[in-house]
Copies of this chain bind each other. A is one copy, B any other.
């Protein structure tokens, strides 16, 4: 048996994933596009060994008691795939606040997938890693890949064509920036898994989402390939607002925004009115991520930090996919 360490970046979606067509396999209703974020990373070490009596998971120095993300299920999935019995110890560290809408489950499950698969003796390619990571956490499939990434929704019932793939690698558009603002480090109340299920079942606007998301995907894909920042930024911002509109019209309503979220949104819109190219996006939490180009990153960061509600900012560039850091043989 072996012990392996892997690292993965969080990813921020430009076209969001919200709603599954298969809950067990985590197959999405729509494809999504994201940027793997150099700056928001998780490093995970996984070890399978006869010396362990049970699976242990330590996240940011705390032993996991309540397995909300079903990490144990993911370890079991990998164990089955490898045909082994040994219990695991997993130690994971993120360099950013967990469960507050900064895609910690994406980077965490992606790093876990790569480390545990390797430690279990599996030898998997990127596509297979993406399919495996997807079953742990949908958006984790995107964190497997580099740069700007599309997670293809696929059409097969077994999920074999629902995987992530780089649209362009990280050096294709190195000037693109995502500034994550930290407005709250509290854990969110509604997890995205329960939330998206309620949306698909109760939201009167979900059909309108599905009807328009293909257009958003086509525009963003084209915008990334042609490095058209205004096109990518404005389309991503509108797509984010569409997703939050779905959330707040779900029964019961899901409102991830807090006052500080809205403060940053207005600040970004005000910057645009003043000629500074900045767009926002928000995921299942209160944090606002601001998209801009390198030339404006200092000015925008300065302005964001002046806001009452912004505690800190984290600057992200297009980053790597999940990577094996090292592997120890015993």
Contacts and interface: CB of A to CB of B under 8 A. Distances in A.
A59 interface: no
Contacts of A262: 255, 257-259, 261-262
A205 B243 CA distance: 11
Chain A interface residue number, banded: 20 to 34
A12 B7 CA distance: 53
A168 interface: no
Most chain B CB within 10 A, of A246, A249, A255, is at A249
Nearest to A255: B265
Contacts of A245: 205, 244-246, 248-249
A242 B209 contact: no
Contact of A249 (B241, B257, B261, B265): B241
Given A204-B212, A259-B259, A253 B266 contact: no
Nearest to A216: B204
A238 interface: yes
Contacts of A76: none
A211 interface: yes
Contact of A253 (B238, B259, B309): B238
A128 interface: no
Contacts of A242: 204-205, 249
Interface of A: 204-205, 207-209, 211-212, 237-238, 241-242, 244-246, 248-249, 251, 253, 255, 257-263, 265-266, 269, 309
10 contacts: A204-B209, A204-B212, A205-B242, A238-B249, A238-B253, A241-B248, A241-B249, A255-B262, A255-B265, A257-B262
